[in-house]
Chain A
């Protein structure tokens, strides 16, 4: 039982962590919590199934196309739901605009794809039992994403420009950085990360339109637990959430496990309102 809890807990935790990183990546350059993050994860599974099972493409082209399609959805999010409300961030209109876009994506998927879960193919055919690829692929994808982001942010000029905009976009603009283009690029990157979450977790979650709402919800928890904008916090928060959820599934059953998860979430936030790894925001006076 412990092995099952660890295998499935780490797998779903890694998926939640990747969705948390998707939230953070979009937030970093725009200060907007975009509720399309979960839908990007859902689309990762749907596009993966579409390209591999329905269109018969091999793994690599299917993966690249999936990432590209979701990156485009990310860019569309920036244009449609984020840019128009950036001037009034304090009114939090982005909650409405990104939620509306998320609902549109979900309904369009239900109409055009299916309202029933569709199969997702085996990707590598490696492993069995608790070592089945459906358990370790999301973990591997999460690790690869963390390493890739670390490399991007620390070793590349574009990555440093991202960090500069995230730190202080007014100062970044004053230095001549193309803030708008960097924001678009970060939304494309977020789209690709969300897609990777859905693609790597496709065998576990299936290609199902309703996964969007689920991932939106559970992907937000690690962001809140780990501290807004903190990717390492999101990974740790996501993995802990996955393990706790699976343990609760085994101990108290499906419906009550959701109650247990959110009871713990509220308790953590009461104890540390800025999240487990977030610092209290300093206010300049």
Chain B
């Protein structure tokens, strides 16, 4: 049976189609099939690229896993990556491109605070759902930046964990607080010293040391003579930390070092004169990425390690970077799945209701008033020299 299309039919059909478009009937059909575009601002090259390379492995794995399972309600997840090289200017340009040209549905990153300080206000103006792992406290302010959510601890949480371990578990009441001479080192050391004093501890020595200073004996001697029972370190300079550890060993002083995650950097392992110089050093870590006395990670982390086995290399990165990258993609995908929409408002509204959302790196909770989602209790101290596939042993003293 054949049918011919009459002119009247064509006109009626065309009018009907136009009317349907005007009423918005066609739009949802397109929106529900187009991919969920996630902007990924990653410093994949340049001097501070190690974290983003780790995060990126998690991002790639999570995306592949989601898409292999059919996507989110039939929509594929598409990652739009821009390499910012750790440069705030490049991060700003990439952010603007993502918002105005690429029309992404949410942005993950940047992954360092310098870039994030430059991009946060731009994303807020564009009402772009943004999730990032940067620690600087001022980056999260639900009134100024209602779109920005933190997926990792803040500096305050790091500080609390270090102080808690020093005072409660190491039972040191007299501390030496040492930072480097960078802006971060000075601010972090000052905040830390103020926190210790507020909690009734005695800061017997406080110093900011030039990271290129070849001999750390003067500062270590002053700290010892002042009666320090623990040395609290706020620095990313592995050279400075290694020199201090070597000096501690030469002085025959067994004072514990407690502080910044850089204390566990593999670079320190190469710079210390003897492996035992790295003992009694405890750095900030995370419960989900710490193994117990039996060498076991928490069950959910063990499950992830099994799933990643043979697919994602964990030997030259940190487990938390990979796990956090996975969580970032999943938490965006989950918002679209739960709300059935990839609009900015829907994603932000959904995140504001999360309570104990089960990620691999942590369980995140947000409210409209608090966008610091990482649970402070899960920030723990690790044995800095115990690195194994990006995970660390819990520092002694945890039950």
Binding site for B on A (CB under 8 A): 1, 4, 8, 11-12, 110, 115-119, 129, 201, 204-206, 208, 210-211, 214, 246, 249-250, 253-255, 258
The residues of A that contact B219 with a CB separation of less than 8 Å are 249, 253-254
Are A254 and B209 neighbours in the complex by a CB distance under 8 Å? yes
* Separation of A115 and B238 alpha carbons in the complex (Å): 10
The residues of B that contact A253 with a CB separation of less than 8 Å are 207, 218-219, 222
The residues of A that contact B250 with a CB separation of less than 8 Å are 129
Are A254 and B207 neighbours in the complex by a CB distance under 8 Å? yes
The residues of A that contact B208 with a CB separation of less than 8 Å are 254-255
Output the nearest chain A residue to B272 by Cβ-Cβ distance: A119
* Separation of A208 and B267 alpha carbons in the complex (Å): 12
Are B239 and A117 neighbours in the complex by a CB distance under 8 Å? yes
Output the nearest chain A residue to B178 by Cβ-Cβ distance: A254
Binding site for A on B (CB under 8 A): 47, 181, 207-215, 217-219, 221-222, 238-239, 242, 250, 265, 267, 270-271
* Separation of A205 and B271 alpha carbons in the complex (Å): 11
The residues of B that contact A206 with a CB separation of less than 8 Å are 239, 271
Output the nearest chain A residue to B239 by Cβ-Cβ distance: A117
Output the nearest chain A residue to B213 by Cβ-Cβ distance: A254
Output the nearest chain B residue to A15 by Cβ-Cβ distance: B214
Are B212 and A214 neighbours in the complex by a CB distance under 8 Å? yes
Are A12 and B238 neighbours in the complex by a CB distance under 8 Å? no
Using A110-B47, A206-B239 as known contacts, say yes or no to A258 and B215 having CB atoms under 8 A apart: no
The residues of A that contact B207 with a CB separation of less than 8 Å are 253-255
The residues of B that contact A249 with a CB separation of less than 8 Å are 213, 215, 218-219
Instruction: Please provide the 6 A-B residue pairs with the shortest distance between their CB atoms, ordered closest to farther.
Output: A117-B239, A115-B47, A249-B218, A8-B215, A250-B218, A254-B209
10 contacts between A and B (CB under 8 A): A115-B47, A116-B265, A117-B238, A117-B271, A211-B212, A249-B219, A254-B209, A255-B207, A255-B209, A255-B210
Are B214 and A204 neighbours in the complex by a CB distance under 8 Å? yes
* Separation of A246 and B209 alpha carbons in the complex (Å): 13
Are A204 and B215 neighbours in the complex by a CB distance under 8 Å? yes
The residues of B that contact A205 with a CB separation of less than 8 Å are 212, 214
Q: How far is the CB of B179 from chain A (nearest CB, A)?
A: 11
Output the nearest chain B residue to A117 by Cβ-Cβ distance: B239
Q: How far is the CB of A189 from chain B (nearest CB, A)?
A: 26
Using A253-B207, A253-B222, A255-B208 as known contacts, say yes or no to A12 and B271 having CB atoms under 8 A apart: no
* Separation of A214 and B209 alpha carbons in the complex (Å): 14
Output the nearest chain A residue to B262 by Cβ-Cβ distance: A116
Which residue of A110, A116, A258 has the most chain B CB atoms within 10 A of its CB atom? A116
Are B221 and A250 neighbours in the complex by a CB distance under 8 Å? yes
* Separation of A214 and B265 alpha carbons in the complex (Å): 24
Are B217 and A4 neighbours in the complex by a CB distance under 8 Å? yes
Q: How far is the CB of B76 from chain A (nearest CB, A)?
A: 36
The residues of B that contact A254 with a CB separation of less than 8 Å are 181, 207-210, 213, 218-219
Q: How far is the CB of B371 from chain A (nearest CB, A)?
A: 32
Q: How far is the CB of A228 from chain B (nearest CB, A)?
A: 26
The residues of A that contact B217 with a CB separation of less than 8 Å are 4, 8, 250
* Separation of A250 and B207 alpha carbons in the complex (Å): 12
The residues of A that contact B242 with a CB separation of less than 8 Å are 117
The residues of B that contact A8 with a CB separation of less than 8 Å are 214-215, 217
Output the nearest chain A residue to B267 by Cβ-Cβ distance: A116
Q: How far is the CB of A126 from chain B (nearest CB, A)?
A: 15
* Separation of A8 and B221 alpha carbons in the complex (Å): 14
Are A12 and B239 neighbours in the complex by a CB distance under 8 Å? no
The residues of A that contact B238 with a CB separation of less than 8 Å are 116-117
The answer, among B210, B211, B214, B265, for a CB contact under 8 Å with A12, is B214
